[in-house]
């Protein structure tokens, strides 16, 4: 970062504040219904300079875990999110505004107030046992990272994978955390059936930039080693260069792709930076706080040039790819190097570049006291 950079952000956090909730006319620091002390699972407090930042994990009492996805520019139709909120604290995360539906902020609240679906494995078993359920690719996850730090303690993602392994149900996972390698023992037999694939997001090979943008995610080197571990275990790995931020990490595309190929990645995807709702404010504040003023101004200008003069365009098809000369140049560069390196591509979307096998699915039996009817 330049010598003229502004004050450093709160150490270990992406956001430095809690912007007002777009659904609320009054901004209050409150917990949503179901987030009281009786639902507190885990908490810890860190001294960060003269500030004390507390992370709390609450029980999410949701009654369903398989979520329908209805979007013409996303290739999967179902997702599972074991958590709401994400400790990784990626400043650019498009999922941050989902916390506003809980009465919270998309800023520090999103990365310090986490909701864990403790009952998710049991609910998933029940949903897969329904005669109406037809096996289809399940994506973990759409609006959170299934391997964020609290997963090491709670093991919700691992328990969900245990249910899917038992049923031979197809699953794809995307993460920025090396913790996914812990679950190779569950993913490997699914991959052998053609029913599992993984994606590791690598935004930059620069550990300083990565730590600033994604403070609690794994380092670039650890992510590459995770790609190698998954690949050597026979588990298909796609690398996501996501998001691509013009003027900040777009020139790293060739290096990321080559390093990923060398570590065993089979395919690659890319997504342009998405800044919905108040994420615009968080990102531009972070940009001005961490980058030299001249660089921050240039990056913002380039982003606008990929969004028709705005910071974001939410239209389907366009939102993932951007538009204009700069966006086309970035996509062309990505395509050229994928072809040169022999990487399969699926631009503008998350997940694997090939369909998964649904034919091995075995419907689970529920442990009930009811008589079975034949």
Sign of the dihedral through C-alpha 370, 371, 372, 374: negative
Q: Has residue 108 been placed in a domain?
A: yes
Q: Has residue 205 been placed in a domain?
A: yes
The confidence score (pLDDT) of residue 198 equals 97
Whether the per-residue pLDDT at 329 is higher than 70: the answer is yes
Q: Has residue 20 been placed in a domain?
A: no
Express each pLDDT in 161-208 by its tens digit: 999 999 999 999 999 999 999 999 999 999 999 999 999 999 999 999
The confidence score (pLDDT) of residue 317 equals 84
pLDDT band at 289 (very low <50, low <70, confident <90, very high): very high
What percentage of the chain carries pLDDT values higher than 90? Answer: 78
Q: Has residue 334 been placed in a domain?
A: yes
Whether the per-residue pLDDT at 370 is higher than 60: the answer is no
Total domains in the fold of the chain:
1
Q: Has residue 372 been placed in a domain?
A: no
The confidence score (pLDDT) of residue 295 equals 97
Whether the per-residue pLDDT at 226 is higher than 80: the answer is yes
Domain boundaries, position 261 = 37-345
Write the CATH number for 305.
3.20.20.70
Whether the per-residue pLDDT at 309 is higher than 50: the answer is yes
- The mean-pLDDT minimum among 8-12, 122-126, 231-235, 255-259 falls in 8-12
Q: Has residue 253 been placed in a domain?
A: yes
Q: Has residue 19 been placed in a domain?
A: no
Strand order in the sheet with 83-84: 40-48, 51-59, 113-116, 83-84
Burial of 153 (0-12, 13-18, 19+ CB in 10 A): exposed
- The mean-pLDDT minimum among 2-16, 203-217, 291-305, 351-365 falls in 2-16
Q: Has residue 11 been placed in a domain?
A: no
Q: What is the mean pLDDT of the chain?
A: 88
The confidence score (pLDDT) of residue 7 equals 43
Half-sphere exposure of 92 (CA within 13 A, CB side): 21
CA triple 79-88-119, angle to 5 deg: 45
Express each pLDDT in 235-277 by its tens digit: 999 999 999 999 999 999 999 999 999 999 999 999 999 999 9
Q: What is the pTM of this model?
A: 0.88
Express each pLDDT in 88-121 by its tens digit: 999 999 999 999 999 999 999 999 999 999 999 9
CB atoms within 10 A of CB 357: 16
3-class SS string, the chain: CCCCCCCCCCCCCCCCCCCCCCCCCCCCCCCCCCCCHHHEEEEEEEEECCEEEEEEEEECCCCCCEEECCCCCCCCCEEECCEECCCCCCCCCCCHHHHHHHCCCCCHHHHHEEEECCCHHHHHHHHHHCCCCCCCCEEECCCCCCCCCCHHHHCHHHHHHHHHHHHCCCEEEEECCHHHHHHHHHHHHHHHCCCEEEEEECCCCCHHHHHHHCCCCCCHHHHHHHHHHHHHCCCCEEEEEEEECCCCCHHHHHHHHHHHHHCCCCEEEEEECCCCCCHHHHHHHHHHHHCCHHHHHHHHHHHHHCCCCCCCCCCCCHHHHCCHHHHHHHHHHHHHHHHHHCCEECCCCCCCCCCCCCCCCCCCCCCCCCCCCC
């Amino acid at each position: 970062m330049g010598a003229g950079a502004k004050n450093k952000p709160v150490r270990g956090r992406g956001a430095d504040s809690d912007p007002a909730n777009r659904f609320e006319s009054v901004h209050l620091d409150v917990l949503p219904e179901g987030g009281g002390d009786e639902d507190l699972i885990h908490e810890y407090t860190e001294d960060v300079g003269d500030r004390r930042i507390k992370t709390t994990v609450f029980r999410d009492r949701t009654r369903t875990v398989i979520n329908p996805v209805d979007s013409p520019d996303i290739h999967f139709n179902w997702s599972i999110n074991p958590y709401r909120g994400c400790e990784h604290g990626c400043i650019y995360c498009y999922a941050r505004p989902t916390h506003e539906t809980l009465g919270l902020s998309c800023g520090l609240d999103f990365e310090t107030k986490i909701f864990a679906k403790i009952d998710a494995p049991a609910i998933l078993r029940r949903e897969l046992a329904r005669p109406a359920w037809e096996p289809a690719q399940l994506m973990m996850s759409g609006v959170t990272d299934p391997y964020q730090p609290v997963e090491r303690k709670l093991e919700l993602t691992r328990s969900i994978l245990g249910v899917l392994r038992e049923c031979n149900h197809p699953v794809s996972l995307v993460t920025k955390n090396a913790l996914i390698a812990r679950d190779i023992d569950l993913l490997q037999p699914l991959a052998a059936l053609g029913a599992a694939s993984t994606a590791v997001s690598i935004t930059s090979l620069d550990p300083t930039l990565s730590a600033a943008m994604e403070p609690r995610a794994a380092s670039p080197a650890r992510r590459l080693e995770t790609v190698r571990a998954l690949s050597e275990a026979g588990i298909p790995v796609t690398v996501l260069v996501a998001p691509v931020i013009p003027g900040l990490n777009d020139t790293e595309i060739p290096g990321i792709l080559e390093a990923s190929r060398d570590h065993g990645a089979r395919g690659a995807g890319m997504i342009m930076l998405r800044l919905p709702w108040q994420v615009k404010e968080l990102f531009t504040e972070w940009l001005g706080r961490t980058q030299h003023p001249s660089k921050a101004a240039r990056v913002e200008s380039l982003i606008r040039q990929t969004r028709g003069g705005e910071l974001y365009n939410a239209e389907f098809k366009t939102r993932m790819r951007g538009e204009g000369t700069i966006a086309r140049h970035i996509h062309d560069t990505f395509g050229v190097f994928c072809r040169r390196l022999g990487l399969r591509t699926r631009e503008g979307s998350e997940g694997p570049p090939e369909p998964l096998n649904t034919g091995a699915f075995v419907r689970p039996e529920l442990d009930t006291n009811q008589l079975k009817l034949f």
